[in-house]
Structure 1
Amino acid sequence: MLAITGLVAGYGRTTVLHGVDLAVPADGVATVLGHNGAGKSTLLRAALGLIRPRAGTVTLDGEDVTKLPAHRRVRRGMAYVPQGQQSFPQLTAMENLRLVADGRKDGRAALDEALDLFPALRTAGGRGAGLLSGGQRQQLAIARALITRPRLLLLDEPTEGIQPSVVAGIQRTIMELSRRGGLSVLLVEQHVGFALRAAERYYVLEAGRVTSSGSGDVHAEAAVRQALSV
């Protein structure tokens, strides 16, 4: 679904990514692991077009989108959930969801499907988004992205600062969406066990370079931890 080849990107005079190669399988999950500052969030931003690459290509479902701005990539089926459980805090959880659903032909159905995936949002729908727990805000952010019915979902550390029970629920949701088909996921994550259980492919990023990659299963955990410890 997504192929990144020789990607070089950064900010100003600072180069953050140095020739990154990565692929996300169709209807599957690929995960990127690495320490803070490795370039993981920059990779997602470059994939979406929020940062213009200095070299390399980004291909979405066979189409070269390297030169397309972010809004045109979104129209082609990309959705991005940035780090930080972002929402409109002055609105209720349900109002946050309806902002995305309203105006879409399938908005009501997409909203109901998102609430089925995250039933806690039904209960908390009337609460201000700024009053939700961290886990509920993260579920809200993912649900908003899913209402757009993306073909490719970019998730930036969805488990950061969230209680283990909610982490398990988010993991189940990601795996369920992948099994249903029609959605690929590029997941940036620091929790190794979660990342490898959810993904078919993993990539370890260190100082803007892929230093290790392989099949994403629990048997790879020792190799990944070794790569991260270097």
Structure 2
Amino acid sequence: MLEINTVRAGYDRTTVLHAVTVAVPQDGVAAVLGHNGAGKSTLLRTAMGLIKPTGGAVLLDGEDITRLAPHQRVARGMAYVPQGQQSFPHLTTAENLQLVADGRPRVASGRSGGGGGKEAIAEALDLFPVLRELSGRRAGLLSGGQRQQLAIARALVTRPRLLLLDEPTEGIQPSVVAEIEETILTLARRGGLSVLLVEQHVGFAMRAAQRYYVLEAGRVTSSGDGGTGAEQTVRAALSV
């Protein structure tokens, strides 16, 4: 689905990613793990077109999208959930979702082409039932875990084919972490959606992922097949 081939990228004159190669399987999950400052968020921002790489290429379904703007990538079926439980705080939960539904591309992908905004919102709310109960509450008054669920739901309203998640369980109470983890696992098992997951929780990442990559100082230092059997290998790679 997504190929990030020997990409170099960074900020101004500082190179953060050094010839990084990552592949996301069709209808599967690739997990990227690493300590703070390893370049994980930079990798996602580059994949989404928010950072222009200085080398290498980004391919979606074999198409070179390296020079496409973020909105053009969204039109091809990509969606991005950055860190920080981002939302429009002065809008209600329902208004946050409706705003995305109203602005989503008319024909973005095979998934986005069918059904209307109401149907897409209903599907997202089925995954996060608590948001239906909080539909009239302003997003700024939600808990951190509820805002994270809203951020993921907003991305799913676009009916993406590829979802980029940047540490979706970071800083969230354990009970909500379990709900978010189960939702992501459900999406991964359902098919029709590929996920590039940046995550600190190794156990969850290995349960979800078919492939894993460990980043250290902007370089891939370990990679392989995911699954619970890879958990100790990943923990060992992270402890180096």
TM-score range, shorter chain: over 0.9
After superposition, give the CA deviation of every residue in 1:147-190 in whole Å (9 maximum; x if it has no partner). Answer: 00111000000000111221111111112112222110000011
Q: Which amino acid aligns with 2:72?
A: R
Distance across 2 between alignment mates of 1:19 and 1:156: 20
- After TM superposition, the structure 1 = structure 2 runs for residues 85-104 of structure 1, keeping only pairs within 5 Å, are 85-102=85-102
> What TM-score, normalized by structure 2, do the two folds share?
0.94
Contact 2:145 2:176 in 1 (8 A): yes
Pick the aligned partner of 2:137 from 123, 127, 150.
127
Alignment correspondent of 1:45? 45
Alignment correspondent of 1:162? 172
Alignment correspondent of 2:108? none
Alignment correspondent of 2:7? 7
Distance across 1 between alignment mates of 2:18 and 2:42: 11
Q: 2:209 matched to 1:189? A: no
Q: Which moved more, 1:102-111 or 1:142-151?
A: 102-111
Q: Which amino acid aligns with 1:87?
A: S
Alignment correspondent of 2:121? 111
Secondary structure (helix, strand or coil) at the match of 2:135 reads coil
Secondary structure (helix, strand or coil) at the match of 2:80 reads strand
Identity %: 76
**Which ranges of 4 or more aligned residues in structure 1 deviate by more than 4 Å?**
none
Distance across 1 between alignment mates of 2:135 and 2:208: 28
Distance across 1 between alignment mates of 2:189 and 2:230: 21
Pick the aligned partner of 1:206 from 216, 222, 234.
216
Q: How far off is 1:102 after superposition? A: 2.7
Q: 2:18 matched to 1:18? A: yes
Alignment correspondent of 1:220? 230
Q: 2:62 matched to 1:62? A: yes
After superposition, give the CA deviation of every residue in 1:64-115 in whole Å (9 maximum; x if it has no partner). Answer: 1011111111110110000000000011111101111236661000000000
How many residues matched? 230
Contact 2:160 2:193 in 1 (8 A): yes
Superposition RMSD on alpha carbons, in Å? 1.0
Q: Which runs of 5+ in 2 are unaligned?
A: 105-114
Distance across 1 between alignment mates of 2:43 and 2:79: 14
Distance across 2 between alignment mates of 1:226 and 1:99: 44
Distance across 2 between alignment mates of 1:16 and 1:227: 20
> What TM-score, normalized by structure 1, do the two folds share?
0.98
